[in-house]
């Protein structure tokens, strides 16, 4: 990595104000600073504040060690095995606080006992500059010092923010092989903020995209959910398709887009409609996200099987599409069935007055409201207006009022009496 000169922005040279920082995060920063520790706001919070966006998380790095942080905050608990992190809880909110660390030195393991010591060697504390150099992207390597109110840049992040580009810190081939999920993070940041991916970083993604299969399924599933925050889902999937990551993670979607006659126009319209519903910092419903992606494939499969005939039950088709969609992501079973029932409910909503079925039983299903939300997305994607009055929602509210008025009696289970074993003298 070429040597980069550090850049420091004084208080009057940047737009970050303490009014925009979460109050609880400020309290943590001030308490650490008052006890003589260096404390900085780090990562995405500094990036978003400089871009005048509302940060989703406020992460803090400090010179204090994990046990010292725990002694300062009664509402603190430590997590992590390879590197200890302090989570400071304020109600449902958690402020993550970490100690400045550096890239661990390689250890020559001569036997099995020494090879297991990597857990301890990864717990290597360092300076703020060393901590910045071990992060993933330059735009995430910015620090805001609460003591001097300065923005400190050790990795060239301010320059990349100005140029609106995503660039790795160091050699992208090495960084992506260390953690392949960083390729998804690069795509997420570029799509969410409208940035471009730096040329060398993009070439590295094109050549190393197959490495993503080495990542844990839990992390992949979690990272995919973050694509649709701030309405960047469609752009993220487009970049995944261009880079080859979509074929690795979602072969079902990739094959559909490659064989679709209209080049997947309905698919992209569904994702655009979903993005319009998620322009804030809240992540969309996971089932709704997968439902919007699967619906165009369900239409294609239905046309192939039935043509223009009536489709009475599409549950089997929906389940097959979901199984082929993401064998790598390992969708939870509950979400799998929820999405399948949402897709199966669409033909009932389209023919509410024409089809005869138990409507009251239908609206009592757990996935009913999600199915209604997916129906709105499909209507927008097809260029139709969402009706202001929906008879199924009226029936849903009527059933809800009935359930609230009825007081369910608690079921009292009869306690089984255990048979007393006879003593030795009674035998």
Task: Tell me which residues are annotated as active site.
Answer: 57, 59, 136
Three-class DSSP category at 415:
coil
Helices 181-193 and 233-243, packing angle to 10 deg:
130
User: In 3D, which of 204, 371, 194 has the Cα closest to residue 290?
Assistant: 371
CA distance 151 to 34: 19
Lookup result for tokens 């302090």: 86
CA distance 232 to 362: 33
Q: How many CA atoms lie within 13 A of 120 on its CB side?
A: 6
Lookup result for tokens 């519903």: 277
Alpha helices per DSSP H over 17-91 = 23-34, 44-50, 66-72
215-242 burial, b if ≥16 CB within 10 A, otherwise e? Answer: beeeebbebbebbbbbbbbbbbbbbbbe
What count of residues does the chain have? Answer: 427
116-143 burial, b if ≥16 CB within 10 A, otherwise e? Answer: eeeeeeebeebebeebbbbbbbbbbbbb
Beta-carbon contacts of residue 78 (< 8 Å; ≥ 6 apart): 66, 67, 70, 84, 85, 86, 87
As a dihedral over the C-alpha atoms of residue 253, residue 259, residue 260, residue 264, rounded to 10 degrees, the angle is 40
Cα angle for residues 214, 57, 50 (degrees, 5° grid): 105
CA distance 350 to 290: 20
Lookup result for tokens 């109600």: 91
Q: 258 with 236: CB under 8 angstroms?
A: no
């Amino acid at each position: 990595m070429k040597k980069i000169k550090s850049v420091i922005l004084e208080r009057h040279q940047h737009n970050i104000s303490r009014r925009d920082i979460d109050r609880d995060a400020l309290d943590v920063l001030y308490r650490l600073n008052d006890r003589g520790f260096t404390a900085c706001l780090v990562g995405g919070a500094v990036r978003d504040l400089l871009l005048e966006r509302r940060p989703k998380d406020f992460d803090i790095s400090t010179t204090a060690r994990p046990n010292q942080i725990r002694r300062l905050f009664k509402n603190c608990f430590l997590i992590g095995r390879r590197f200890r992190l302090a989570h400071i809880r304020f109600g449902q909110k958690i402020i993550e606080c970490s100690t400045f660390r550096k890239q661990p030195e390689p250890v020559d393991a001569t036997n099995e006992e020494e090879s297991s010591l990597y857990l301890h060697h990864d717990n290597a504390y360092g300076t703020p500059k060393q901590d910045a150099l071990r992060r993933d992207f330059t735009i995430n390597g910015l620090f805001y010092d609460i003591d001097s109110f300065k923005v400190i840049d050790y990795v060239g992040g301010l320059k990349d923010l100005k140029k609106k580009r995503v660039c790795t810190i160091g050699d992208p081939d090495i960084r992506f092989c260390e953690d392949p999920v960083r390729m998804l993070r690069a795509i997420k940041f570029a799509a969410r903020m409208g940035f471009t991916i730096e040329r060398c970083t993009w070439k590295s993604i094109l050549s190393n995209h197959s490495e993503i299969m080495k990542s844990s399924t839990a992390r992949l599933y979690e990272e995919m959910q973050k694509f649709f925050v701030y309405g960047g889902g469609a752009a993220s999937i487009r970049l995944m398709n261009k880079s080859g990551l979509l074929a690795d993670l979602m072969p079902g979607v990739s094959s559909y887009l490659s064989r679709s006659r209209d080049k997947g126009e309905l698919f992209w319209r569904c994702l655009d409609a979903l993005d319009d519903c998620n322009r804030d910092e809240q992540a969309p419903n996971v089932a709704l996200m997968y439902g919007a992606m699967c619906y165009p494939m369900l239409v294609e499969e239905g046309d192939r099987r039935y043509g223009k005939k009536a489709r009475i039950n599409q549950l089997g088709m929906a389940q097959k599409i979901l199984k082929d969609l993401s064998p790598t992501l390992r969708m939870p079973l509950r979400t799998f069935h929820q999405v399948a029932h949402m897709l199966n409910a669409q033909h009932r909503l389209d023919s509410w007055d024409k089809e005869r079925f138990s409507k009251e039983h239908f609206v009592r299903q757990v996935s009913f409201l999600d199915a209604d939300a997916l129906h709105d997305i499909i209507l927008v994607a097809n260029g139709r207006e969402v009706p202001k009055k929906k008879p199924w929602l009226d029936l849903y509210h009527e059933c809800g009022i009935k359930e609230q008025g009825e007081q369910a009696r608690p079921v009292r289970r009869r306690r089984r009496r255990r048979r007393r074993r006879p003593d030795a003298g009674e035998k």
